[in-house]
Chain A
Amino acid sequence: MDVQVRIQRDDFDTGREIAELHRDNPKVGAVASFVGLMRDVNDGAGVSGMTLEHYPGMTEKSIRAIVTQAQGRWNIIGARVIHRIGRLEPTDQIVLVVVASSHRGDAFAACQFIMDYLKTRAPFWKKETTTHGERWVDARVTDDVAAARWRLKG
C-alpha cells in the first residue's frame, strides 16, 4: 500500500497530494480528504497564534500504526497524513489526511478513523497565544468520545 506520513514546518498543497495519491492508479475509485485549519478563537478567547510541539520518532510511528489499523478494517489503496509543527497562525492549514480506495464508503470511514485516532494518540501538543497570554491547549473529552466510537463498531 502507498502510505506516506510527513511531519513538517512547511505548508502543504492538498490538491497536489490528492492528485499524487491516485495518479496512474485505475483501481482508485474514491478519494476522501480532511484538512484541519487553525481558528482564531478557542475556549472563549481570541487566538492570534499557536506553536505545535511533537515527539520526533514516536509521532511518525504512531500515525503509521493508526493507518495500519485502518488498513485492517477497510479496503485502502493509499493514504497520506501530513501534520505541521512549529508556529502557525489563524487560517493556516494544520493537518491533512487523504485516503484512496475503490469505493467511497471505505475512503470516508478510514479518513475519519485516522483523524479521530490521531487526535487522541499521536504525540502533538498545542500552545496558543491568546489575548490573555500563552496557554497549553487542554485535551477534549469529545475527542476521546470520537475515538471510542470506532471500538464499538465491527
Chain B
Amino acid sequence: MIKLVYFARLREALGCTAEDVAPPPEVTDVGTLRTWLGQRGGAWTEALASDVTVRAAVNQEMAANDTRVATGDEVAFFPPVTGG
C-alpha cells in the first residue's frame, strides 16, 4: 500500500485528506501515480489534469515526476506552497 495525503486547494477539490491505495504495477513514480489517480474521473481528473500545477512529496521530501514510489511510501500532492 501507498499512503496518499492531500493538502489545501487540492484536498478541498478532491474531498479527500488521506487514503491508502494499492496501485497497479505500471505505477512506478510520481508521474505515473498522478496519471493513475487522474483516471478516477470527476474532480480527480480535473484537479490532477496535466495543465494544473501540482507539487508532490515522497516521504516528506519534495519530489519530481520521475521520483520513484513503492509500497510503504507516503506520497503527498499539493498546490505550490504559499507560506512565509
- Give complex CA distance A97, B84 in Å: 10
Q: In the bound complex, do residue B57 and residue A136 qualify as a contact, i.e. CB atoms below 8 Å apart?
A: no
- Beta-carbon contacts under 8 Å, A114-132 to B: 115, 118-127
Whether the Cβ atoms of B81 and A136 lie closer than 8 Å is no
Q: Given the interface contacts A57-B60, A58-B57, does A125 sit within 8 Å of B84 by beta carbon? A: no
B79 and A136: CB pair below 8 A?
yes
A104 within 8 A of B: no
The binding surface of chain A is classed by DSSP as mixed
Contacts of A120 in B (CB 8 A): 80-81
Indicate whether A124 sits within 8 Å of B81 (C-beta atoms), given known contacts A53-B7, A55-B7, A136-B8. Answer: yes
The contact size tier of chain B is 10 to 19
Contacts of B76 in A (CB 8 A): 55, 58, 123
Tell whether A138 is near chain B: CB-to-CB under 8 Å.
yes
Rounded to whole angstroms, the CA-CA distance of A124 and B8 in the bound complex is: 9
Query: Considering the complex of A and B, which 10 residue pairs feature the smallest CB-CB distances, nearest first?
Result: A124-B83, A139-B80, A125-B8, A58-B60, A119-B84, A136-B9, A137-B82, A126-B82, A122-B83, A125-B82
Q: Spell out B's residues near A (CB within 8 Å).
A: 5, 7-9, 53, 57, 60-62, 76, 78-84
